[in-house]
Amino acid sequence: MSKEFDVVVIGAGPGGYIAAIRAAQLGKTVACIDEWKDPKNGAAAPGGTCTNVGCIPSKALLQSSEHYEQAKLHFGDHGISLKDLKIDAGKMVDRKNAVVRQNNDGILYLFKKNKISFFHGRGSFVKASAAGYEIKVIGKDAETLVGKTVIVATGSNPRALPGVEFDEKLVLSNTGALDLKAVPKKLVLVGAGVIGLEMGSVWRRLGSEVTVLEGMPTFLPAVDEQVAKEALKVFTKQGLKIELSAKISEVKPGKKGVSIAYTDAKGAAQKLDVDHVIVSIGRVANTIGLNPEAVGLKLDDRGAIVVDDQCRTNLPNVWAIGDVVRGPMLAHKAEEEGVAVAERIAGQHGHVNFNTIPFVIYTSPELAWVGQTEQELKKAGVAYKSGTFPFLANGRARAMGDTTGFVKILADAKTDEVLGVHIIGPMASELIAEAVMAMEFKASSEDIARICHAHPSLSESTKEAALAVDKRTLNF
């Protein structure tokens, strides 16, 4: 016998579980389906890629590796001496797994708190009916649910190199890259995107010789050019070997390692023998097992679910959000869409502003940005003003011993409205929130410049960058 709900959410990643909670808050009866399992015991592990093999575990390992590098290279500057500094990569991974489990359990608690029925298994469409949509759940036990409304939030999967499958032992996706039990001697990362740079940073700090092979001729082309140039300089100085315009011709796993053949920027043939290769060339929408054809759910030529600007699909009362639809594949974008769709289902006016979605790369220094880049403004012919301020001139950054980078603000030349904010430096991921709020409320650079910021704080660099737009910095 089927169980009926006002809303059935397929997927409990950041978009799905947030959509389920918001729908429940608005008085709907809600079911959420998710198949992620704890690799140790098979227990339900909601949270999707972000919680299990993405955002959360990568930040846990980045934190551990940052502590190690600080102890190794910088504690002496603070008068702290250590003897016999050692790495236990296995213990680092165990701590990462514990952090992941805490987040899994937290989501299960939130489901219980909000009276959401959770079903552990894979959800797939069966048919449309007068009562809504019939969804089959295949897990430990088979279940049949009927949802008056369905929200698809099935996320994405890592894109593999053509002809080279992930074995998560030698050829790794983000999943395998986060689960290495020992520090490899040599690593190659294919792709200099977010995942590649973050994973490269983790293992480089712990002692690996890391080479990043990027097919594009430009480093971080989506990032403001001035920030990208600074990042390339800093990462190279740290020890990451980054090769642009690298064309992979062969990836050949062996008994103990991987052989990679490629041509470099000059067209010369090159070969590397390494312990592992981490492939981070993007992600693809995940509709595996969803059975969209059973109800006529439309997909585009990339396999993503087709939606309008409100996240409606071609089917009545079926919505889709997050990585499985158009737009940036970011956890916080999925969350915003989840809330907006739940509110739209309840007759409210959900809001998502794609122009103020922040982007972050959690390397050291961190990179964070929102809005348009300088190259985008030039291409669009928009007249603008620019102001930058270096962390080198910030008192808090000096006290922290981390003065790399700067804050950059771009504002309309006529109206002074902030059009983009770009940060490379300490805690950029936290500093960008002020910029997002400023842009959401159509602030001018003068608005930011005239707000009192605590002293000493890193946020003063944002104020000073705003002052620099009008060429009146006070501390540089």
- DSSP codes joined into one string, 273-311: EESEEEE-S-EEE--TTT-GGGTT--B-TTSPBP--TT-
pLDDT at 368: 98
Q: Which residues contact 10 (CB under 8 A, 6 or more apart)?
A: 16, 33, 123, 135, 150, 151, 152, 153, 154, 290
Per-residue pLDDT, 57: 97
Q: Where are the domains of the chain?
A: 3-155+286-346, 159-282, 358-470
Cβ atoms 367, 223 nearer than 8 A: yes
Instruction: Establish whether 123 is an annotated binding residue.
Output: yes
Rounded Cα–Cα distance for residues 111 and 98 (Å): 20
Q: How many CA atoms lie within 13 A of 77 on its CB side?
A: 11
**288 falls in which pLDDT band (50, 70, 90)?**
very high
| pLDDT for position 140 | 84
Residue 196 annotated as binding site? yes
Average pLDDT of the segment spanning 114-129:
97
- Measured in residues, the chain has a length of 476
Residue 425 has pLDDT above 80, yes or no: yes
**CA dihedral sign, ordered 62, 67, 71, 75:** positive
Give CATH superfamily name and number for 358-470.
Answer: FAD/NAD-linked reductase, C-terminal dimerisation domain (3.30.390.30)
- Whether 412 contacts 383, CB under 8 Å: yes
**Closest Cα to residue 243, out of 204, 205, 184, 196?**
196
Is 455 known to be catalytic?
yes
Tell me: pLDDT of 1 over 80: no
Q: Residue 2 pLDDT more than 90?
A: no
DSSP 141: S
Average pLDDT of 288-297?
97
Query: What does the pLDDT average to over 10-15?
Result: 98
Q: Annotation-wise, does 323 bind a ligand?
A: yes
Nearest CA among 31, 22, 11, 10 for reference residue 352: 22
> Do the domains at 3-155+286-346 and 159-282 have one common CATH topology?
yes
- Specify the pLDDT at position 464: 98
Per residue in 329-376, pLDDT (tens digit) is 999 999 999 999 999 999 999 999 999 999 999 999 999 999 999 999
With bands split at pLDDT 50, 70 and 90, how would you rate the model's confidence at 396? very high
Confirm whether residue 214 is marked as ligand binding.
yes
Give me the numbers of helices (H) and strands (E) for the chain, helices first please: 13, 21
pLDDT for 141: 82
pLDDT bracket for residue 380 (50, 70, 90):
very high
* Residue 97: per-residue pLDDT: 97
- State yes or no: 332 annotated in a binding site: yes
DSSP for 349-386 reads -----GGG--EEE-SSSEEEEEE--HHHHHHHT--EEE
Is 3.50.50.60 the CATH number for 3-155+286-346? yes
Q: State the architecture of 159-282 in CATH terms.
A: 3-Layer(bba) Sandwich (3.50)
Q: What percent of the chain has pLDDT over 90?
A: 98
Closest CA relative to residue 33, chosen from 155, 156, 175: 155
> Does 282 appear as a known binding residue?
yes
Task: Look at residues 259, 249, 261 and name the one whose alpha carbon lies nearest to residue 170.
Answer: 259
What does pLDDT average to over the chain?
Answer: 97
Q: Is 338 a known ligand-binding residue?
A: no
Catalytic: which of 67, 74, 351, 455?
A: 455
Q: What is the mean pLDDT of residues 226-250?
A: 98
Confidence band for 151, pLDDT divided at 50, 70 and 90: very high
Is 329 a known ligand-binding residue? yes
* Residue 464, marked binder: no
Q: Tokens 């300490």 belong to which residue?
A: 426
Q: 455: helix, coil or strand?
A: coil
